[in-house]
Amino acid sequence: MRQSPPPRTYRVKSFGCQMNVYDGERMAELLAERGLSAAPEGEDADLVVLNTCHIREKAAEKVYSDIGRLRREDGSSPLIAVAGCVAQAEGDEIMSRAPAVSMVVGPQAYHRLPGMLEKATKGERATDTDMPADAKFSALPARRKAGPTAFLTVQEGCDKFCTYCVVPYTRGAEISRPCSDLVTEAQRLVEAGAREITLLGQNVNAWTGDDDKGRAIGLDGLIKKLAKLPDLQRIRYTTSHPNDMTDGLIAAHGEVDKLMPYLHLPVQSGSDRVLKAMNRSHTADSYLRLLERVRAARPDIALSGDFIVGFPGETDAEFEETLSLVDAVGYAAAFSFKYSPRPGTPAATMDDQIALAVMDERLQRLQAALNRDQLAFNKASVGKVCKVLVERRGKYPGQWLGKSPWLQSVHFEGEAAIGDIVTVELAEAGPNSLSGRLLAPTIA
Ligand code: 5AD
Ligand code: SF4
Q: To the nearest whole percent, how much of the chain has pLDDT over 90?
A: 87
**Is 384 a pocket residue for ligand 2 (Cβ < 6 Å)?**
no
Give me the pLDDT at residue 264, please.
Answer: 98
Is residue 283 in contact with ligand 1, taking CB distance under 6 Å? no
Over the stretch 53-71, which tens digit does the pLDDT of each residue have? 998 877 778 899 999 999 9
Q: Does position 441 have pLDDT exceeding 90, yes or no?
A: no
Kindly report the average pLDDT of the chain as a whole number.
Answer: 94
CA-proximal residue: ligand 1, atom 13 (nearest): 306
Which 3 state secondary structure label does DSSP give 302?
A: strand
State the distance from the centre of ligand 1 to the C-alpha of 378, rounded, in angstroms. 26
Q: Is the CB of 266 under 6 A from ligand 1?
A: yes
Does the beta carbon of 242 sit less than 6 angstroms from any atom of ligand 2? Answer: no
pLDDT exceeds cutoff 60 at 76: yes
Query: What would the pLDDT profile of 412-440 be if each residue is shown by its tens digit?
Result: 999 999 999 999 999 999 999 999 999 96
- Report helix, strand or coil for 184: helix
Counting ligands in written order, which one lies closest to the CA of residue 337? 1
Residue 440: what pLDDT?
66
Distance 166 CA to ligand 2 centre (A): 8
Counted residue by residue, the chain has a size of: 444
User: Helix or strand or coil: residue 313?
Assistant: coil
Closest atom, ligand 1, to C-alpha of 340: 1
pLDDT tens-digit map of 182-228: 999 999 999 999 999 999 999 999 999 999 899 999 999 999 999 99
H/E element, 156? strand 155-156
Pocket test for ligand 2, best of 167, 203, 205 (most atoms within 8 A of CB): 167
Give the residue among 237, 196, 153, 199 at the shortest CA–CA distance from 391: 196
Ligand that lies nearest to the alpha carbon of residue 172, given by its number in the listed order: 2
Identify which has the larger pLDDT, 395 or 260: 260
Instruction: Choose the residue to mutate in 17, 162, 169 for probing ligand 2, maximizing ligand atoms within 8 Å of C-beta.
Output: 162
* Residue 4 pLDDT level (bands cut at 50, 70, 90): confident
| Whether pLDDT at 102 is above 90 | yes
Residue 416, SS3 per DSSP: coil
Q: Which of 20, 275, 306, 307 to mutate to test the pocket of ligand 1 (most atoms within 8 A of CB)?
A: 306
If pLDDT is split at 50, 70 and 90, which confidence band does 131 have?
A: confident
- How far is residue 112's CA from residue 116's CA, in Å, rounded to a whole number? 7
299: exposed, middle or buried (Cβ count in 10 Å: 0-12, 13-18, 19+):
exposed
Residue 135 has pLDDT above 80, yes or no: no
Q: Which of 159, 203, 279, 311 to mutate to test the pocket of ligand 2 (most atoms within 8 A of CB)?
A: 203
Q: Which residue's CA is the nearest one to ligand 2's atom 5?
A: 160
Between the CA of 201 and the centroid of ligand 1 the distance, in Å, is 15
Q: Distance, CA 95 to ligand 2 centroid (Å)?
A: 28
What pLDDT sits at residue 133?
53
Residue 3 in this model has a pLDDT that exceeds 90 = no
Instruction: Kindly give the distance from the C-alpha atom of residue 200 to the centroid of ligand 1, in angstroms, as a whole number.
Output: 17
